[in-house]
Amino acid sequence: MKELKLFINTAATVTILFLLTQSLNGQSLRGVVTDHEGNPLQGASVSITGTYLGVHTKTDGTYQIRGLPEGHHQLRFSFTGYEALTISFRMKRDTVINASLEAMAVMTGDVVISATRAGDDTPLAYTNVTGELLEKLNNGQDLPYLLALTPSFVETSEAGNGIGYTSLRIRGTDASRINVTIDGIPLNDPESQQVFWVDLPDLASSVDNIQVQRGAGTSSNGAGAFGASVHIQTKGIEREPFAEINSSAGSFGTFRNNISAGTGLLNDRLAFQMRFSDIRSQGYIERTGSDHQSAFISGLYRSGKSLLKANLILGREKTGIGWWGVPEEMLETDRRYNPAGEYTDDNGTVKYYDNESDNYTQNHLQLSYSRKLKSSLSFHSAFHYTRGKGYYEEFKEDEPYSDYGLPQAGLPGPEIITSDLVRRKWMSNDFYGLIYNISHKGDRISADLGGGTNLYSGDHFGRIIWMRYAGMTDKDHEWYFNNGRKFESSFYGKLTWSMAEDISLFGDLQYRYINYDLSGNDDDLKNIGQVHSYNFFNPKAGVFMNLSSNQEAWLSFSVANREPTRTDFKEASGDDEATPMPERLFDTELGYNLTNPGHSLSVNLYAMIYSDQLVPTGELSNVGYPVMTNVKDSYRLGAEVTAGFIVSELLSFDMTLTVSSNKIKDFTEYYTDYNTGDWSAEYKSRKLGRVDIAYSPSLIATGIMHFKVLPSLGIDLTGKYVGKQYFDNTMNSDRMLDPYFVSNVIAGFSPGIKSIKDLSVQLTVNNIFNARYENNAYGGNWFEDGVEKSWAYYFPQAGTNFMLKIGLKF
C-alpha cells in the first residue's frame, strides 16, 4: 500500500502542475441567450459538448467562451424550465452564436429544490452526479455505492456487496450528520437522523440527478447538515408515452428486475409515471440475504401558471441481520462468518435460527404545489407524510426471566431462571410536515424566503413470540414500550447579490427550533423519559468571483448546530452528567475552478472547527448504532482536488483526491481495569492528547478512466483508495482498518435498433483484483492488571464478483 500511496500522491502532483501550467489557446465564442420573447436569461448554462468548457450567462444574458480550438463543435444551451438547445457549428475564427430557448411544457425544476441546492455561483463545495452516471452504476446496489466516486466519500455495507444495510461517510462525517432531501423534502429519520437506504430499494432508478454537498452546505429542510448533505432530484415527467424494462443478475444469487412506464403529457395538462422494482440477493456475508420490493408512482397536473405534483414511494424489505459483523479471530479462517442467530442445541450442535431478520415497510407520500406569481416571483409548497412499521426478529439463548420483567417459569423440577426465546423489537412511526418557499430571481438579486414544520411520533416496543419454558407467560408478551415525539420548525432567508459583473455575494440565515420528548421504558426495563428543547441559529456567508471566462474562485464561512440523536440520549439516560450536549461547527471553504477544452481542475480547501463534537467511542448499541461521546475541541482540515482530462475522443480520465487531518485536540480515555486475582473492577482514565477522530481516513483517492472502443461500446475502469482509519479514538493499531484499494470495470454496449428507443447491455465486474478488505468495523478495549486488551468486529467486503444488466426502452 505504501507504493500505491506514493503513486497516487505523485500522479496527483503531476496532474495539478500540468493543469496549472497549461496556457489557454484558441478562439473566442460569444453571444446572448434569451427566451422566446427576447428577454435575457441570466444564469443559463452554455457548454461545449465533449470538453470541460462551459460558462453561465451574465445579467444581460451574454456569455463568452475563450480557448476554443478550430474544428467542428456542438454548443449546448440549458436553463431550468426551458427546453435545452444544441447547435452544431465549425470554429474558424472568433464567432458569435445567439440562442432563444422555449419554455418547457412541463416544469422539471422545483423552486423548493433550488432553495436547498447550491447554484452555479454558490460559494460552497459540491458535486453534481448526473442521471447518466447513476444509470451506468446502478445494478441494484444502494445509493451510497453509486456515489462512491465523489470526493471525500466512504461507503459501507453490512452484507458485503452493497445491497441491504449500507451507509456512508463524507469527510469522516457519519450518516446521522448528513442532511438528505428528495425534491427538497426531508428524508432523514428524525430520531436517528439517518436515512436507511434499505427502506428505499432501487430508488436510483427514479432519480434524475444528485447533488452531494460537502461542509455545512445549503440545507434548509429537515435535520441540519453537520458535515455534508445529499440532495436528490427525482425524474421529471416525460412528454411522450414510454415503457422500460431492466433486468440484472450476478454473483451471490443477486437479481434485480424493474419495469417503468409513463403516459406522457395528456392534453398538455396531465401525466402519470410509475416504476416497480424487485431485488433479491443472498449477500456476501452468510445469512444476510435481501428480499426487497419498491414502487415509485408520480402524477402531475398543470393549469396555467400552476403545477400540482404527487409522488408515492413504497418500500418493503426483509434482510438477514448482519450488523454484528465478523469477529476479528474469524477473519482469516472464515470471512463470511455471521454470528447472528447462532445457538447450541441439546446435543451440543451449533445451529442458526432461520428467521434472524429485519423486516420493515416504509411508504412516503409527497404532494407539491407550485405557482408562478410573476415572471421573477414564484411560490412553492410541499406536504409530506412517511409511515413506517416493522421489526427485527432474533433468537436469544438462555435469557434470564428477570431481564423481561417475568417471574421464573414455575415448572416442576429444578428452579428454572432462564429460557431460550424468540423476540421481535418493533418500530412504528409517523413523520409528516409542511415546507414552503417563495423565490425571487431578478437581474442582480436572487432571494428565497421559506421554512418548514415537521412532527414525528415513533413507538419502540418488544414482544416475545416464543419461549422454550413459557410457563404462564402470554404469547406476544410485551416487555417494554417507549415513545418519542419530535417537533421541529425552521425559517430561513437566502440572498445572492451580483454586486459587480464578476463578483457575487451570498448570505443564508436560518433559525431552527427542536423539541424532543422521550417517554417509557427501554429494552433493559430502564425508564428513559426525558425532554429536550433547542434553539439554533445557522448563518452562512460567502463571495464568488469569476476570475476569467475559464476560472472562478469562492470563499465562504458557515455555522451549523446539531442536536443529539435518540440513541445518544438513551445511552445516557439516568445520568445527568452523561447527557450529550448539542454540537457546533464553524466551517470555512476556499475553492478554485479551472476549465480548459481538454482538462479541468477544482481545488477546495476546508477547515471544519467543532465545539462539543459527538465522536464515536468504537462501540455499538445492541441494534448497531455507534455509541458517542462529546469532545470539547476538534477539527477537520483538508484539501479536495478534482481533475479531468480528455485525451482524445476515445479516452478520458477523471480523478479525485482528498488529503486531510482529523483531530481531537485533547482526548481523555475512560476504561475499566480488572484485577485478575478477584476480578474486581476499577474505573480509570488516561490522557492521550491529540488523536485522530475515529473513522476519518487522511487520504481518499478515486479515478475513472473511460474508453470509447466503438460508438456503441464503452468501457469504464474505476479505482478507489482509502487510507488507514481507526475505529476508536485511541489510535491503537489493534483497532484500525487497514488501507485498501478496490477497482471495478464496466463494459456497456448500446446497439441502435430502429424499432426500440434504447437497448443496452452492461457487464460490471467489481473488485477485479480480488482485494481482501474491510470498509467498516467497531470495537473497544479493557484492561487486566494494567495490560490493555482489544476486541473488534469487522465488515468484510466481497471479492471479485459480477453483474450483467439488460435494459429495453420502448
The whole-angstrom separation of Cα 636 and Cα 156 is 21
pLDDT of residue 66: 78
Task: Please name which of 51, 309, 315, 277 lies closest in space to residue 200, comparing C-alpha atoms.
Answer: 315
Please, are residues 143 and 157 in contact by the beta-carbon 8 Å criterion?
A: no
Q: What is the spatial distance between Cα 147 and Cα 207, in angstroms, rounded to a whole number?
A: 13
User: How far is 217 from 118, CA to CA, in rounded Å?
Assistant: 8
| Pairing outcome for strands 27-35 and 95-96 | parallel
Q: Looking at residue 572, what is its pLDDT?
A: 75
Q: What is the mean pLDDT of each run of 10 residues along the chain (810 residues)?
A: 47 49 62 85 82 78 82 84 84 86 58 56 89 89 95 97 96 93 92 94 93 88 83 88 94 96 90 96 97 96 89 97 95 96 92 96 96 87 97 95 84 77 97 93 88 96 94 90 96 91 91 96 93 95 90 94 90 75 95 89 95 74 62 95 90 94 92 90 90 96 93 93 96 96 95 80 96 95 93 97 93
Q: How confident is the model at residue 245, as a pLDDT?
A: 95
Question: Could you tell me which CATH number the domain at 242-340+351-406+422-445+454-809 has?
Answer: 2.40.170.20
Residue 808's φ and ψ, nearest 5 degrees, are: -130, 135
Q: From CA 730, how far away is CA 668, in angstroms rounded?
A: 9
Task: Name the CATH superfamily for 25-104.
Answer: Carboxypeptidase-like, regulatory domain (2.60.40.1120)
- Cell numbers that stand for 534 in this block: 433547542
End-to-end CA distance of the chain: 48
Q: For cell 412506464, what's the residue?
A: 261
pLDDT for the residue numbered 117: 65
Residue-level pLDDT at 110: 41
Buried/exposed 717-748: b ≥16 CB within 10 Å, e otherwise: bbbbbbbebbbbbbebeebbbebbbbbbbbbb
Q: Judge contact between 797 and 775, C-beta under 8 A.
A: yes
Residue 267, classified by CB atoms within 10 Å of its CB into exposed (0-12), middle (13-18) or buried (19+), is exposed
Domain borders along the chain are 25-104, 242-340+351-406+422-445+454-809
Asked whether the beta carbons of 184 and 382 are under 8 A apart, the reply is yes
- Give the model's pLDDT for residue 113: 44
Report the distance separating Cα 593 and Cα 610, nearest Å. 27
The whole-number pLDDT of residue 116 equals 62
Give me the pLDDT at residue 10, please.
45
d(Cα 93, Cα 73) in Å, to the nearest integer?
Answer: 13
- Tell me which residue of 697, 731, 735, 728 sits closest to 619, measured CA to CA: 728
Q: What is the pLDDT of residue 27?
A: 74
**Half-sphere exposure for 333 (CA within 13 Å, toward CB):** 5
Spell 653-682 as b/e; 16+ CB within 10 A means b.
bbbbbbbbebbbeebebeeebbeeeeeeee
> Which helix or strand (DSSP H or E) is residue 116 part of?
helix 111-116
